[in-house]
Chain A
Amino acid sequence: GENVEQHPSTLSVQEGDSAVIKCTYSDSASNYFPWYKQELGKGPQLIIDIRSNVGEKKDQRIAVTLNKTAKHFSLHITETQPEDSAVYFCAAVRGPSARQLTFGSGTQLTVLP
């Protein structure tokens, strides 16, 4: 099955700096890569996603890049703000079944004021 590795597990940045979270996947059939943000006491929330036919996608201060050859994708957050502090999960989808959605183990991002 699919294996999704996420790094780092914890990340601290100064407010205003950029943050980058990286994920690698093992199954070349994976074709959809969502990112979820989980704030304290809340469930994960979909913040951005990318499909395998696209190399980069941007939404205001967040962007995701995908390198299919190397089988890795990254989340980039620019001009970080305290409200960006949360746990971020990457995921990879390799087929039409929910069983084929694999999550990474999460990154705790802390934005220091």
Chain B
Amino acid sequence: ETGVTQTPRHLVMGMTNKKSLKCEQHLGHNAMYWYKQSAKKPLELMFVYSLEERVENNSVPSRFSPECPNSSHLFLHLHTLQPEDSALYLCASSQDSQGRDLTFGAGSRLTVL
């Protein structure tokens, strides 16, 4: 596997469910990111981790909980989501946490019923 891999690619969940999105990077990068992509809107930064330490939390509701156990893996834990949380969630990585030269995964398409 090369690049940035995200699983699952598609997820449907009810508002009371708990699920997790997983991201893995094989590039030796030190920083990992979660972005939210909604139709016709700019990408929204959610979280940034640098060397497993959270360096940015962009005013994201607590129903989204990130976890970075090591520099290659990033999770986004989801619980009691709202229908408006339905979107494509993109993971990215880069050499540092400045948001430059990002390598994105293909995304996890989340639908909240």
Footprint of B on A, CB under 8 Å?
4, 9, 32, 34, 36, 41-46, 49, 89, 93, 96-106
Q: Determine if B2 is an interface residue (Cβ-Cβ < 8 Å).
A: no
Among B12-20, B60-68, B75-83, B95-103, the one that faces the other chain is B95-103
Is B104 in contact with A44, judged by CB distance below 8 angstroms? yes
Q: How many residues of B contact A (CB 8 A)?
A: 26
- Decide if B100 touches A42 in the complex (CB within 8 Å): no
4 closest A-B pairs by beta carbon, nearest first, are: A43-B104, A98-B99, A101-B99, A103-B42
User: Given the interface contacts A43-B90, A43-B105, does A89 sit within 8 Å of B56 by beta carbon?
Assistant: no
9 example contacts (A-B, Cβ-Cβ < 8 A) are as follows A9-B40, A42-B106, A44-B104, A46-B101, A93-B100, A99-B99, A103-B43, A105-B40, A105-B41
**Total number of A-B contacts with CB less than 8 angstroms?**
64
| B interface residue numbers (CB < 8 A to A) | 4, 6, 31, 33, 40-43, 45, 48, 55-56, 58, 90, 92, 97-107
B100 to nearest A CB, angstroms? 7
Pairwise interchain contact B56-A98, C-beta atoms closer than 8 A: yes
Q: Which residues from B are CB-within-8-Å of A49?
A: 101
Q: Which residues on B sit within 8 Å (CB–CB) of A42?
A: 106
Residues of A close to B102: CB separation below 8 A:
36, 44, 46
Task: Look across to chain A and name the residue whose beta carbon is closest to the beta carbon of B42.
Answer: A103
With the chains together, A100 CA to B99 CA distance in Å? 8
A38 to chain B, nearest CB (A): 8
**B45 CB contact (under 8 Å) in A36, A41, A101:** A101
Flag if B42 contacts A98 (CB, 8 Å).
no
B42 and A4 contact, CB distance less than 8 A: yes
CA distance A101 to B45 in the complex (A): 9
The complex places the Cα of A102 from the Cα of B90 at a distance, in Å, of 15
Q: Is the CB of B106 within 8 A of A43?
A: yes
Q: How far is the CB of A36 from chain B (nearest CB, A)?
A: 8
